[in-house]
Structure 1
Amino acid sequence: MPGVVAGTLLTFIPAAGDYVNAAILGSPNTKMIGNVIESRYFKIVDYPTAAALSFTLMAAILILVTIYIRKAGTEELV
């Protein structure tokens, strides 16, 4: 079971902030958090909002990963 948990985490965490695949495969109307952060940082040059969105994404991932590890019963991964 620890291998399944580790594999899930290694897949989920990078996919949460991946904006390149969403930009290439999705439509221009598709809004994902990685795309919003990238556009705020590079196109709009709104650094405070981009930083706040990045921190919110990291906090949400940390909370979800902690809940997932607790539910899976593999606390030794923490």
Structure 2
Amino acid sequence: QQKAYIATQGPLAETTEDFWRMLWENNSTIVVMLTKLREMGREKCHQYWPAERSARYQYFVVDPMAEYNMPQYILREFKVTDAR
């Protein structure tokens, strides 16, 4: 049976590069984030994506392409390239 999904917690600042590598190596095309960055005044998840311009995470360049603010969620699209 082919892998259907990966369940993981949000990355820490120091594991963000590992997170993007995991997505790349598993050819993941969708990430569903079920938590807010901050809840009750505490950081729950590091912002692992670039907000406005491209960012490099070790070998990978992540370019924000679009952001759609819906009533119940935010949809973000990124282009990820291997910069090696």
Give the shorter-chain TM-score range. Answer: under 0.3
Name the structure, 1 or 2, with higher relative contact order (CA <8 Å, separation 6+): 1
TM-score by length of 1: 0.27
Q: Which has the higher strand share?
A: 2
Report the TM-score, using the length of structure 2 for normalisation. 0.26
Of Structure 1 and Structure 2, the greater helix share is in 1
Task: State the structure with more CA Rg.
Answer: 1
